[in-house]
Chains A and B, each alone.
Chain A
């Protein structure tokens, strides 16, 4: 009895009772899952803004449905609300506008977009002045309270807190492309230390605009295979040339097993363990020996109390950049040893693209759906696997496979490495 309430280290077991997801593949778990196991791509030519002059002209955007010009934080909030509503309804927890636990929101760092900046600049109050002198004159005279409420670094999480009513302060966090996984880590830690019985872990990222495409392009991070948008994200392939930016959101409702059982909630899976180790090597690259990532993976297994042989499937970070996929293989080989042979691994990013701050949450959601279905979504666009990446990457076609446990990796710029392990319902 107490075994299922506390884990191998005597901490409360943390379970998942609600999942919500929105990506370029569709809205909701059902539509996303159908597309994922069918091997569909959500990537297309960017139509939100002119792409003339950009090296990368493709992305997994989700159509902006607001009035007027594109307003990135409003788009991110809208997607997050959809995924959170789906997760909260499935969990059947709390009441409308009152979530009985903490909230952790993985989100990109807000910056005023060009449309809004020009809206301010073009007002007349600044007279003949130019640059930011004009901007400051115009804001001083004008009314831009909506921008004030939307463009602060905490704005997205604040709007979600106002909507869903969690306890305490909402935590707005970024660990670059590991953010979504970090939000789950923080939720797990808060429940384990008894701060809260439940946590609403949201990842949301819908910021695809001219400047973001340029910034990632200047770091040589993006695929430029514009002629074949659906074929451009090709993790583990010999001809991979970068990731494809995408938009999306996912939400997990986490609870202590005790609390979930007490209220009779259906348990969708267990967060068995989390691991992390910051890298010191470089701002955008891992240590060449992979030691920080290896340590991250090893620590997640120690935290879960699991051996490499007990991992049934790996949901890869698998970005499709030359560097990431090579390093992820190197680290997994070292951390899992022989157990990596015969352990299937696939990258959801081959279909969804890289949803950046939301990716860790989206991939956690898909990891849990994989356990439930006993079907592994494929790595699509893998027609010529990199001969130096010797893993079973479930190429192109889904696979039926009993999956009781999943390892999900997330790595980000700034030396951010997080590994999560999920398993099916505790006995």
Chain B
């Protein structure tokens, strides 16, 4: 990392810390959701962007994480902060297990299988025999956490900082994971899996592990979202959540860590603006942006910024 990048990051962090004190509580809540989405998108990007496995069902892992958090709080009385790593662990295992059969599926077929997972998830959550824990159609309501240690923050601000801390940890972990040997192996498998195997990379292990780690990120994001929204219900985790994530990584930029942040800002704020036109408008805009980005800007916002910066550096 260059000195300039570090400086930029510090600046970004400073802005992130100051923001909740200058904007309204509702905006703070929205920013919390941006951080949640950024974590989820980072997870999907590890799988789809870096490893080239298409998932159209990450909403299912998001739901799993959210329900883990909610059930742990509702049934076991666990403190909210403890549910986040628990949800991550559950999703890590679930993702790894789903990743094992997914090994045999490539490209389109994997997209199909995960699409089916995404569509079927709300039904599974509504299932009668699980209703004892999941609350069936009604879902689960969670109490809002207050700031601990007598910190002079209101609940929204505290939630924001809690989410910010988790998000930073997750981003640093991802950065560390992806810049080294493992990250290169993932990219190698994406670009030329036969050559990668010939170089001694165990493609099966890496691919299912990527699935697990990706699901863990999304699960952590799900748990954070459940805590932030204080409510989980089956119908908020339909196939459209998975599609929103896909929009996020395409717009933000595939195989890019900063892209997750751009994508999160996009999926949080663009629908808000579009909503004023019509209820259906956000989706139409999502669709048009997806096609537009695939045609015109396949590397997303992150790739475009990189290109711009490189051009500016060349011509003084």
Pair from one complex:
no
Binding site for A on B (CB under 8 A): none
